[in-house]
Amino acid sequence: MTEPTTDQVASPAAAKPQSGRSVTLRKRPGRRRASPAAGAGPLLTTEGLTRHFKIGGGLHRRTLHAVDDVSLSIGAGEIVALVGESGSGKSTIARLLARIYQPTSGEIFLQGRRLSAIRSRADLLAYRSDVPMVFQDPFASINPVFRVSHGVERSLKLHRPELSRAERRAEAVRIFEVVGLNPGAEVLERFPHELSGGQRQRVGFAQALAMRPKLILADEPVSMLDVSIRIGLLNLMTKLRDEEGVSILYITHDIASARYVADRLVVMYAGQIAESGPVEDVLARPRHPYTQLLVSAVPDPRAEVSVGADTDRGEPPRVIDPVPGCRFRWRCPLAEQVCHEVTPPLRQLLPDHSAACHVATADAELKAF
């Protein structure tokens, strides 16, 4: 079985630096804007989410601030893209939300329910089925020894014990077909090594979907895939949003793919949120100098450009025992004295658009890059 060719788009105008392959990501046609039910409130929120790691020993013991004071919100039926260069804390946020890591401080709320209040194994299992994770490497979540039916049927057995064996099989077939693994009954019988990378990643989404999730945490789900098959997976994410009503936190270092699928964008820098807002607004009129740098490094806004490809020059951010002040100040042409002394809080500039910068304004007239 091959990847769906209708998903493939190629253009010589937009070259991908690493592989020499090329792809152009236009804004997805006819895409539905997320419209969470009025008054329903956000699906998941974090307040001051912080995770530090102790590194070194003895006199050399230091504290690495992987994630500092992150407050974000994800609406029902919304794709939020979390973008930032390598080491900016994206995966740590995903692991905190998946309850793989405990926060150093701060809180996570799912539909208003405080995650730290979860005590019983049953409640934790219920949370994990509401918020499953899809990993970057499809092999990480698929056992190579078993047929691919094993993982999805195991998920169904654990999270939906009311299903009979026959119903479980029928549901597994349905889910495989939802994620584009056709014919489901046939693909379920294959071993992971008999599938392509893209198909294996679809199995990862099928395993998540089997839990009837509210929010899928997708940590760089397409970055290990061949460029030509990435769009099929991006389209799958929008399908899961539009047809299954699932929210997705899409973690990526590629701005173009974020623009293609996401409703809102959260830009991370050195463990903190630099800017967040509706994806088109943030990319068309970036308020934070770091976002401006990212956007200026993308010559064609539809081309696939990795964050960090041309944006990580200058001093790297200091996240080990950081001192107060803006973590972007060593790269920022607009830095003022206050930027060296006071950490800029995330300020709301427009109703749904915030930036953590002392000088950023709602009208986006200040240009650093």
Ligand X SMILES: Nc1ncnc2c1ncn2[C@@H]1O[C@H](COP(=O)(O)OP(=O)(O)O)[C@@H](O)[C@H]1O
CB atoms within 10 A of CB 253: 21
The H-or-E segment that residue 247 falls in is strand 247-252
Site for ligand X, residues 153 to 182, rule: CB under 6 A: none
166 near 216, Cβ under 8 Å? no
Site for ligand X, residues 55 to 74, rule: CB under 6 A: 55, 64, 66
What is the smallest separation between the CB atom of 265 and Mg ion, expressed in angstroms? Answer: 17
231 binds ligand SF4 (CB under 6 A): no
CB atoms within 10 A of CB 15: 16
317 binds ligand X (CB under 6 A): no
What is the smallest separation between the CB atom of 271 and Mg ion, expressed in angstroms? Answer: 12
**Partner whose footprint covers residue 309, from Mg ion, ligand X, ligand SF4, none (CB < 5 to 8 Å by kind):** none
344 binds ligand X (CB under 6 A): no
Q: Identify the CA nearest to 51 among candidates 319, 343, 332, 341.
A: 319
Determine which residue in the list 16, 90, 200, 302 makes contact with ligand X, applying CB under 6 A: 90
How many positions of this chain bind Mg ion (CB under 5 A)? 2
Determine which residue in the list 87, 138, 289, 317 makes contact with ligand X, applying CB under 6 A: 87
Determine which residue in the list 46, 50, 91, 306 makes contact with Mg ion, applying CB under 5 A: 91
358 binds ligand SF4 (CB under 6 A): yes
235-241 long-range Cβ contacts below 8 angstroms, 24+ apart: 235/7, 235/28, 236/179, 236/180, 236/202, 236/205, 237/79, 237/205, 237/261, 238/28, 238/31, 238/79, 239/178, 240/178, 240/205, 240/209, 240/216, 241/32, 241/34, 241/77, 241/78, 241/79
Determine which residue in the list 45, 50, 73, 91 makes contact with ligand X, applying CB under 6 A: 91
Q: Report the b/e string of 308-345 with b at 16+ CB within 10 A.
A: ebebeeeeebebeebeebbbbbebbebbeeebeeebbe
What is the smallest separation between the CB atom of 294 and ligand SF4, expressed in angstroms? Answer: 13
What is the smallest separation between the CB atom of 223 and ligand SF4, expressed in angstroms? Answer: 27
Query: Which of these segments, 19-27, 48-56, 245-253, 326-334, binds ligand SF4 (CB under 6 A)?
Result: 326-334
How far is it, in rounded angstroms, from Cα 238 to Cα 260? 9
92 binds ligand X (CB under 6 A): yes
What is the smallest separation between the CB atom of 278 and ligand SF4, expressed in angstroms? Answer: 21
The residues of the shown chain that bind ligand X, judged by CB under 6 A, are: 53, 55, 64, 66, 84, 86-92, 319
